[in-house]
Structure 1
């Protein structure tokens, strides 16, 4: 019984953090306000931290959402909704390879494709937020 309870608690915690990450990512104004704030010293509010948290923190680096679906962390429908965003993020690289330059990331034309997708992804996921 304890193993099932632990798995349930893990799923709840994983989903809460994942949904918060998707929500934070879908809010360009929040990112602009926090990522570009020179007084913001919390590393959470940076491009590199977002990318590392998203891919490594959720074990999405290899195989994307397949394992998350298998492990019952996300539904197939949710995985489909975020698949395009996931692919865009996988292919995105910071300008000049400088993952610490948040200003350059926001000014990068490649980031525009990701930015354009933000709203659609958030709206599609809104019923589960």
Structure 2
């Protein structure tokens, strides 16, 4: 039985943009992921990825949000390649909880850099209230 989808478009977009902001901010990742005194489980690679793929997309495909009208074709196009790279990313040595290795991983840094470019393009497409969620 397929899971019933119940989500408010505005709330979904806010979660989507917040996740993009976090996943494209290497300085934030270094500051929060590597802070040994921070006990909040949100601040780590695993949780960032879970928030994006599990909480935002909830098992649905990125294309579904285009066909449902929750994102425009231009928004879809500027994030699509980064989304696919992010989805395919594997932590070094498959150690998903080794945040230090991840932030130092050249592939992760490349994905973040590509995400920054996508984010900057996306900002130009969004109304100011949504664009502000992506500015860090």
Range class of TM-score, shorter chain: 0.7 to 0.9
Match of 2:65 among 61, 64, 68: 68
TM-score by length of 1: 0.84
Moved over 6 A (4+): none
The match for 1:20 is 18
Match of 2:90 among 88, 93, 103: 93
The match for 1:4 is none
Offset at residue 62 of structure 1 (A): 5.2
The match for 2:102 is 105
SS at match of 1:29: helix
TM-score by length of 2: 0.80
Please list every run of 5 or more consecutive structure 1 residues that lacks an aligned counterpart in the other structure.
1-6
Please list every run of 5 or more consecutive structure 2 residues that lacks an aligned counterpart in the other structure.
1-5, 132-136
Q: Counting helix residues as a fraction of each chain, which structure ranks higher?
A: 1
1:45, 1:26 → 2: CA distance?
Answer: 14
SS at match of 1:74: coil
Residues matched between the structures, number: 121
1:82, 1:10 → 2: CA distance?
Answer: 21
Superposed CA RMSD in Å reads 1.8
2:60, 2:15 → 1: CA distance?
Answer: 19
